[in-house]
Amino acid sequence: MDRFALTGRRFVVTGASSGIGRAIAEAFTAAGAEVALLDLNADALPGVAAELGSSAAPFVCDVTDEAAVQQTFEAIADAGPIHGLVNSAGISHIGTLLSTSSADFDRLFQVNVRGTFLCMREAVPRLRQSGGGVILNMASIAATSGLPDRFAYSMTKGAVLSMTLATARDFLADGIRCNCISPARVHTPFVDNFLARNYAGREAEMFAKLSAAQPVGRMAQPAEIALLALYLCSDAASFITGSDMPIDGGFINLR
């Protein structure tokens, strides 16, 4: 099990105040890593850092803001080397081509695509300085499957997948591995908020319907995604780069 340990390594995890990002930060600190927690939520972030203990440091950062991302990575690097980056910050959207506004399209692109790009661009030179490292991006089954009412979201996750493959190839000689995870539906606060906002009084009914979309009959838990992230960022996955790893309850192949 030592090959799954992250002792002595420092990771940056974006979107770390809730959902998948928080679960990944929890799994990484439990495996011995120091984690820089990046999130826009200045209210929630300190509490998450306090729960995780001295191995976690909070950094309030808007990943769409180029100057803020640069300053944040400089501050993290001033405290020591960076060995990995997990891009988990992201937002979702429901809508078709015709019902997606230009403002919504741009907002999705800014967070999911530009944010991933800016953080990777800051991480790569520092991973080089550390003699190599790992980048893990959060894609989605929406990147490769035609999902209804997910036009703009699918666009962004397709871009994340493409950026992952390009980065893996470009920095192979630097000892930098780059992969992405493609979850199906995960039970995060977004799901609960979406149901409360759109199906008041019918939350349980719609939750069951959404859960049944996965052949295993339920949504994933954030901790399950985090365990895959831990594997991909550990030495146990040293032969894996340029890969998109579905974790989908059978959605892609068993529907």
**How many domains does one find in the chain?**
2
- Predicted confidence at residue 170, as pLDDT, reads 98
- What is the pLDDT at residue 190? 84
Same domain assignment for residues 148 and 209: no
Establish whether 199 is a catalytic residue. no
Which one from 153, 186, 191, 230 is the annotated catalytic residue? 153
pLDDT for the residue numbered 189:
87
Do 134 and 58 have their domain in common? yes
State how far the Cα of 37 lies from the Cα of 58, in Å rounded to an integer. Answer: 5
In a domain, 252, yes or no: no
- Do 45 and 128 lie in one domain? The reply is yes
Residues 71 and 158 in one domain: yes
pLDDT, tens digit, 9 for 90 and up, residues 95-138: 999 999 999 999 999 999 999 999 999 999 999 999 999 999 99
Residues of the chain with pLDDT under 70: 1
Q: Please list, in sequence order, all residues whose beta carbon lies within 8 angstroms of the beta carbon of residue 42, skipping any fewer than 6 positions away.
A: 60
Distance CA 169, CA 242 (A): 7
Q: What is the pLDDT of residue 194?
A: 83
Same domain? For 131 and 149 the reply is yes
Residue 172 resides in a domain: yes
The reply to whether 254 falls in a domain is no
pLDDT in the model for residue 1: 63
Global confidence as pTM? 0.96
CA distances from 139 to 38, 74, 184, 209 (A): 18, 26, 10, 23
Range of the domain at 229: 2-184+221-247
